[in-house]
A and B are shown apart, each in its own frame.
Chain A
Amino acid sequence: MLKTLRTIAGIGIVSEAPPEADDALRRREAMQAQLQAVLGRALCIRHVDAGSCNGCELEIHALNNPIYNIEGLGIRFVASPRHADLLLVTGPVAWNMATALRRTWEAMPDPKLVVAVGDCGCSGGVFGASYAIAGPVAAIIPVDVAVPGCPPPPVRLLQAILTAIRPARAR
């Protein structure tokens, strides 16, 4: 126990400041203002892998580490779509996952947001079009923010999530 406490005290706080939102990632003007009025910054995210290679998942995991410390921003990952405000979707959508993805999205209460993650989620990526793939995430459910990259680094992911929940800047 002493060793555990000493380690915690020795390391201290390593969290870094979050990035700014980036309007370039926005795909759809949704109900950000409404959402923010209701939630402030207490956001619940449900993640769905719709066909990813598991590369994007490595970087999504990193959001929970003490350095990106997404929970410190009031944002957390939840176990059920019923509790979620935002759906974070990776992968080209495999046909075998299309129904599960749609049902997960339908199970979320309104207002809800969708962030498509990675080159695959944005445009299909390296797997191309085939008998097994329905297409990018937007082929199945409406996408608010899309963040490309293979995989996108945690800072970009955080930026995409913050973009989704902050109102678009006046242009």
Chain B
Amino acid sequence: MSLKRWWSRAEPLAGKPSGATLAVEPSEWQSVATDAAAAGGQLVALWTMLYPDATPAAMVRAALLVEGGLMVVELPLAAVTATYRGLQEVFPAAARMQRAAADLTGVRSDAADQRPWLRHAGWTAAEAPLAAAPPAPSAAAPPVDDYAFVRVEGDGVHEVAVGPVHAGIIEPGHFRFSIVGEKVLRLEERLGYVHKGIERRFTELPILEGHRLAARVSGDSAVAYAWAYCQALEGLARVAVPPRALWLRALCLEVERIQNHLGDLGALGNDAGFAFGLAQFSRLKEELTRTVEATLGQRYLLDAIVPGGVAVDLPDDAARALAVRLGRTASLVRELRSIYDDHSGVRDRFSGAGIVTPELARRLGLTGLAGRASGLGADLRVDSPWPPYHVITPKLCMRRDGDVAARVSLRFDEIEESCRIARALVSELPAGALRLPFVDVPTGPRPGIGVIEGWRGPVLVALESREPGRIHRCHAHDPSWQNWPVLEHAVIGNIVPDFPLINKSFNLSYSGHDL
């Protein structure tokens, strides 16, 4: 069945341009997903909400990216104990989102895998952090729980357990490898170690202050999250952000992309044994970061985006300095690219490692940067541009090989393109206000939705207010939810020593995922 009949029933959405909400019955819930998948759509996020003392008592929402825009499907549930049909067979990435939703709200899907995901031993299955009464803070460290990893058995198979504390400057998570000799037969991830109760914390904050926390859901994607939060909020409040602020927001987003890509390219060279790469790229990143601080006032733009506009400005002389730095960065990166390309040792490590074929990528819903390295040409800035990307249009960067080399090449392509866009944004920066005064945010039964293409992929924030000035529920979704499970596939058949390299080539978020 086509998606047309669903679009015809959908209602406008607050926040993300070209988005709509579709209320469905339990019998329709899976059909929408199936139709969306058949039409090449992807699941962006799935989350549940509780409405104590109200009807419905709970709700499941799924944000689908389909031809025509973003469709937020909502399924009301009469009781918290009512289960809903799991979408894991249509969208495999839904599996962990459903498990996390059950951990946080107690609302369960009917999927077979009911293992906890974000919940370790800190609270019980009967408690829900997002219920009216959250679990009491514990007084002592909870015991280490016994997670039911899938066991691989056979001649010569053994397990290697890694983490949560890794051997580098990196976030914590646990990886369980089943290996024969050096070859990986299976990898199973266990995450949730940096679960900080972010979604509960949102409900304690005034709605006009939530952007600070949003920027710290994943600190390396602060601009993407803060913008998504503000897009949702401004959608609810019907505030039109002034053009100068929008241009500056996009500039910040591109700077964030360049900073992260520079860091990753250095680290990837290092993981391939090419310390020169780390030295050069980390130097470039530091020089850019210093210019960003000198021109926009912050080394990393954690507090640049605020409700109604921006908290940074770029006077003419600063604009010139930033444009010069961006141009210089792009040309130095081109030089380093030729060095990476000519280095046979580096090429040997990058090529053919951690392959995700376009077919597998599509099937598993790989998204963002990693998806574009596996032939999935999706980029919200290109496909459904929001201001100012409707004027300053990025070129889609894409690679098809799906290996570490492709993810490296894509980063090189994107740095070049982001430097170009950032310079265009700087040179065409409109004059005018930086921030509109924000009066109040209307309350309502539906969330405002913000979706921004961060450097890793689409970041979604769903923001709901039921009392004036308060957050009833704020769901923050990182593209890492989609990509972590694909990493498990990418390492199959590779050797264990290549895992750090493959993992780094994805560079997924732990904090943004563990919430």
Contacts and interface: CB of A to CB of B under 8 A. Distances in A.
Nearest to B263: A61
A133 B217 CA distance: 15
A54 B263 contact: no
Interface in A36-87: 47-62, 64-68, 77, 79-81
Interface in B82-140: 120, 122-123, 129, 134-138
A96 B195 contact: yes
Interface string B165-192: 1011111100000000000000000001
Interface stretch (A4-12, A22-30, A163-171): A4-12
Interface stretch (B276-284, B365-373, B398-406, B486-494): B276-284
Contacts of A34: none
B252 to A, nearest CB: 15
B197 A47 contact: no
B192 A131 contact: no
B282 A49 contact: no
B263 A58 contact: yes
Nearest to A48: B165
Contacts of A136: none
B120 A96 contact: yes
A139 to B, nearest CB: 10
A4 B276 contact: yes
A95 B141 contact: yes
Contacts of B300: 55, 58-59, 151
Contacts of A94: 193-196, 514
Most chain A beta carbons < 10 A, residue from B219, B222, B279: B219
A57 B170 contact: yes
B504 interface: no
Most chain B beta carbons < 10 A, residue from A56, A127, A131, A153: A131
A131 B134 contact: yes
Interface string B30-67: 00000000000000000000000000000000000000
Contact of A53 (B138, B219, B263): B219
B106 to A, nearest CB: 14
Nearest to A97: B193
Contacts of B218: 53-54
DSSP majority for the B interface? loop
B511 interface: yes
A104 B220 contact: no
B200 A131 contact: yes
Contacts of B138: 95, 131
Given A96-B194, A131-B197, A151-B300, A58 B137 contact: no
Interface in B184-237: 192-198, 200-201, 204, 212-213, 216-220, 222
Contacts of A8: 276
B164 to A, nearest CB: 5
B445 interface: no
For the side of the interface on B, what is the size category? 35 or more
B219 A52 contact: yes
A104 to B, nearest CB: 5
Contact of A132 (B196, B282, B512): B196
A95 B135 CA distance: 13
A67 B283 contact: yes
B412 interface: no
B342 interface: yes
B448 to A, nearest CB: 21
B283 A3 contact: no
Interface string A125-157: 011111111100000100000000011010000
Given A99-B141, A126-B213, A131 B193 contact: no
Contacts of A128: 201, 204
B433 interface: no
A3 B144 contact: no
Contacts of B299: 59, 153
A113 interface: no
Contacts of B514: 94, 96
Contact of A100 (B123, B164, B259, B339): B164
A58 B219 contact: yes
Nearest to A131: B135
Given A53-B216, A55-B222, A130 B196 contact: yes
Contact of A131 (B137, B282, B283): B137
Nearest to A10: B335
B339 A3 contact: yes
Interface in B262-311: 263, 276, 278-280, 282-283, 285-286, 289, 299-300, 302
A62 B137 CA distance: 35
A53 to B, nearest CB: 4
A91 interface: yes
B198 A49 contact: no
A9 to B, nearest CB: 12
B402 to A, nearest CB: 25
A51 B167 CA distance: 16
A78 B398 CA distance: 36
A54 B123 contact: no
Contacts of A50: 172, 194
Contacts of B278: 64
A127 B201 CA distance: 7
Contact of A7 (B142, B212, B263, B280): B280
Contacts of B170: 49, 57
B510 interface: yes
B293 to A, nearest CB: 8
B9 to A, nearest CB: 39
Given A55-B222, A91-B194, 14 more contacts: A3-B342, A7-B336, A11-B283, A50-B172, A57-B169, A57-B219, A59-B300, A64-B282, A95-B141, A126-B216, A127-B216, A130-B197, A131-B129, A151-B302
Interface of B: 120, 122-123, 129, 134-138, 141-142, 144, 164-165, 167-172, 192-198, 200-201, 204, 212-213, 216-220, 222, 259, 263, 276, 278-280, 282-283, 285-286, 289, 299-300, 302, 335-336, 338-339, 342-343, 509-512, 514
7 contacts: A50-B172, A53-B218, A59-B300, A65-B285, A94-B514, A96-B514, A132-B196
Shortest beta-carbon contacts, A-B, top 10: A55-B219, A79-B167, A132-B197, A65-B282, A53-B219, A130-B197, A98-B141, A53-B216, A131-B135, A54-B219
